[in-house]
Structure 1
Amino acid sequence: MIISSWNIRGLNSPLKQNGVLKHLRKAKPAIIGLIETKLNKQSLDSFAKNKLWNWKMVDNFCHHPNGRILVIWNEELVALDTLETSDQAIHSQATCKSSGITFSISFIYAFNSSAGRRSLWENLCRFSSAHHNPWILLGDFNNVLSIEERANGQPVTMSEIREFKDCCYDLGLSDLRSSGALFTWTNNTVWCKLDRAMVNNEWTQRGIVAQAHFDMPGKLSDHSPCSVSLMGDNDRGPSPFKFFNIWVKHDSFQSLVRSSWDIYVDGTAMFQLCKKLKNLKGPLKSLNKLHFSHISARSAAAEKELQQAQQQLHNQLRMKSNIPSISLGDGTRTTSNKQVGDAFVQYYRGLLGTKRVCTRLNSETVRNGKLLDLAQSIDLTRPVVEEEIKSSLFSIGVDKAPGPDGDLTSIYLLMGKLKHFGECSGLSINLSKSSFHAAGVSDIDLDIIKGITGFTQGSFPFRYLGIPVAASRQTFSQYSLLIDRISDSINAWVGATLSYAGRTELIKAVLQGVECFWFSILPIPAGVKAKIVQICRNFLWSGKCTINKKPLVAWKEVTLPKEEGGLDLRDSKAWNKALLSKSLWEIQAKKDTLWVHHVYMKGGCFWGYTNKHSDSPLLKQIMLLRDEIIQSEITKEKAILKLDQWAPNGKFQSRLAYEFFRPRGAKLAWPKLVWNGSIIPRHSFILWLGLKDRLLTKDKLRDFIEDQSCPLCSSQNETLDHLFFHCNIGNQIWATVKSWLRISRTMQTLKAAVKWMIKEARGTGFPAKIKRIGLACTVYYIWEARKKRLFEDKIEQPEAISRRIQIQTYKILYSLFPDLSP
């Protein structure tokens, strides 16, 4: 089955109507959405009567006067029911008659302004919430999704794509795998990917096989037609016989018809007619091939040349970046492709074709100087291993970039060395690509530096190793790169079905790893840290970074260590302080770095230094850390001792500093059982929520729902203890599990059950592990059965739930004790 979509840019001319019919014959779609038809009701009726008499159709012309979307389908191949129409979309439900698969399908033609598209994103969200089938969307979205999807023209901004990205993220939409043209629209200057084929998570999870192909725009439109193939190869049937009216004008036409018609055929009149028409097909095909094929061939050859040229241009755009403009030697800018090309040719001709006189090495000096012995020469030419590279890079101070230290003498010496190197090697500095940045330097010294180097002065802010560098306090917008990196990481996990435990590990391993580099260099503003916490909190509890779902556990508790009842995620404020404390320790240890020298030059005694208004935000933050440590340790001597404790063996360890700054909580006994390595993490997480009394039973929702009855037994109001220990269903499950685990103790509450289990299930042997695993599995599967009954209306019998608990427990045990006999 094939579905197609094409922005035809007007369907009133016979040429375009015939082009659509040609596309229908070539692609053989069961459904096609024609975008921007510009038809009115009268012209549509005429087009349907003359060209599409055997197709069904629906449109949204009543919502907009310009004939925006027309959907036609072959009723023999697919059953299509229109669910909703709007000025920018037509939503339908399709059922493939050959495979029986039912899915939602939407054809989109978005407005060309951000404000106009806002109602489309809202419409898609409403439709998604009301329908949960596999869903495919095709059409012209008039919006790109990333900066790589536009060549030339104005640069893509985050504000331009944010609403579209948020909509795709909220609905779980992603581009279908595609081939053909990357840029689907062009005006011969700007190239964009505006036409798309997208599917939702349900489509992917159902395993529906589909692939999109974007053809070249051709001669009829500036948009590429899209064809989506479903369920693998399609049976298109034999090609039909075509009769061309021009054959009638040929001199031998009547004789060919007469010779075929004079053949005697025995049978009924209808059989004779069909047989004679069939006999006539061969001579007419020969006539066309002999006398008329050059017309079709010439047209086909011209169209093929057009497609090849378009394909070559698309390939060039995909393979290399396009330069929209360039500065010429006289300071003016040009957008002419010829002038841009000439500028590149002239530059590289001068670079590669110009001979320069280089200072030759004096061989006598080399022979009389020190020579390497055999061991040194072997060591110099041996391969460099990764550990040496890592050691060299890590030995570079994080506070120092290569270059002079700022005084005029060192700058003069550096430029002299670079000039001498250029004379010997022929490699010279490209002044047009070189610049310097300065802060707190007088205008007189700046002029001297410009004269010495010949460089232009760069402006703040700029990026170094991905980090924004500014001459003053960083603004919130300059941290957008960090926030976007975290959001983009979450967006990449939209299609995955993740448990709470899985999201926790991703936050710990990926998201907090991304922020670590920034936290170790800059004092992050409180607003930025709050935004990062909000994104991580939303992802943990809702699976998305944009949905503000009420958290089950406060973030300050989540960031506590597991032994204190948390999830062992890092507190952003404390982690930023811990990483910046390395600079504090380096100042105290008087490390030989530019940063340390700068601090001691400003104030002499570090422990007595007082912040000044002109000091950098980083220095101010370090002095605040110093004061915080002194206040906690009471005296300066004890503060120095604390810093030394964070650097055992002379190497600073940030985790020890984090232990000092992080919030504290009381140590608990039950986390050791909950987070035992033998228990599946998602089971541990539900047990953790239960012990913190954060599972959303109905008694916690009394302000929002009227029905407080237990979903499993319906006999009493639901509470945590009732669900797990007093419910008839829960009681039956516990009775089976306790008998199987040989537990005789009566259990009334979850905390009492865990307390008893801590006492009885000690050690690492088989009896202790099976009790711990059995407890966690029982809590998890009772809670899962409750959710299925409440949200999916699925009823599981107690015997089936008990059986699942036993099977899961044995699976874990056999992975821990492979030699265990049943």
Structure 2
Amino acid sequence: MGDFNAIRGPNEKIGGAVWGDTYCDDLNNCCREANLDDLRYMGNHFTWSNSSVGQKRIACKLDRALVNEGWSDVLPDSYAHFLNPSISDHSPYVVNCGGGEERRKRSRNSIKEVCLDDGTFVSDKGEVKKEFVNYFKKVLNSTNVCNLNVKEIQRLVNFQLESQVKEMMIKEVEEDEIKATIFAMDNNKAPGPDGYGAFFFKAAWEVVGSDVTKAIKHFFSTGRLLKEILANRLKAILPNFIDKAQGAFVGGRNIGENIMLCQELMHNFHKLGKDKKADGDSISLMKNTLSLFHKWSGLKMNCAKSNMYLSGVSQEEKKQFSAIINMELGELPFKYLGVPITSSKLKCGECKILIQKIVGRITSWRSKALSYAGRLILIRAVLFSIQIYWSSIFILPSSIHKEIDGILRNFLWSGASMEGKKAKVAWEEATWKLKDNLEPKNDDEVVYASKGITPPTLGSSTTNIPLR
């Protein structure tokens, strides 16, 4: 516990000059070698500030409580509480060790306290529960209902369902539709209350098919719709009226498109000149548009969690525009859907978040007791997926790829300690030969596979599966 005078990532500092990678690497390497990690905490995220406001404010998380795996096993409910600064410019904090064996059995994901509208905190369990109930009563029982202008909405929303599509959505469910829906289900889908899964109904359809069809038709006639049938009907028309800006949760669209669109909007943002200069009128128009959206939809933007990014204007104009929309000014890069957004090519320092995420997953307690086979599965199924997600959006620097390869290579052969033991096979030549894409069952099979040799237990029929 104490003031380490260093941060572990870019999200632990706002304002002021950008700190170099060494400010993060030294502390992160020390924690990794000592098998330490931050104790979960509540209260202030930034534990030190220069006591300034506005653009001159600088805040960092310099104070922390570090614990090892043994502490987490013995005191799983412990947490640190960072309080508001008083005499010192650092936040004082206390460590709560939990409430004994009974509390150890409870979920660790619990809310310890809530902040009220007047800035005060409530930590009593009964009061916390009461505040949650009162808040949602206030939201859900609101009488502030907007009288929508239907003609105005129709002008903005051009899409309308055709008559034949409307008839298709409300028509009586047919036997062929019921059968097609059930046979499209995965055989391993979790069974219902009766204990029978989709595979049973498929295999015994000649016997139970008529009864199942009658039951489902009865559900539709009583208003209890089978969600899969309704989903299939909606699936055919959803892409037609969901805006193309919605990139996720629609077939054929990728959430990565939203990230690339945001990155494209911010491209060369720092070089914008007078031809694309913001003014008070445009800021006021944006504010009015957001207010109108809130009036129509009931959805209100949280200005406390939002930032405004301006370029090509003076500091005085930035302050003026920020006051108009009541939103703090932000600085690049910022995080969007888990990745950093910048106005130029991604730099090595901005990829440290990726490195920290991979190392954090490796050093978690779940991976410390894994065998070769377990570590191999974790690398292939989880760690490479994290890297691939970033690579599908950005062109990562080659040094980042090499650093990740080194981390994963050391993890495979040395475990969570990543001591860099001698590898049993070159990383570049690591190709796994597995029968019918089966995963290796033990350490011996991993060593066989890494050397390109078919283990006796896997038989003679093999398939080459590259590690990446």
* TM-score of the superposed pair, with normalisation by structure 1: 0.30
Question: Larger RCO: Structure 1 or Structure 2 (Cα < 8 Å, ≥ 6 residues apart)?
Answer: 2
Determine which structure has more spread, i.e. the larger CA radius of gyration.
1
Q: TM-score, normalization: structure 2? A: 0.47
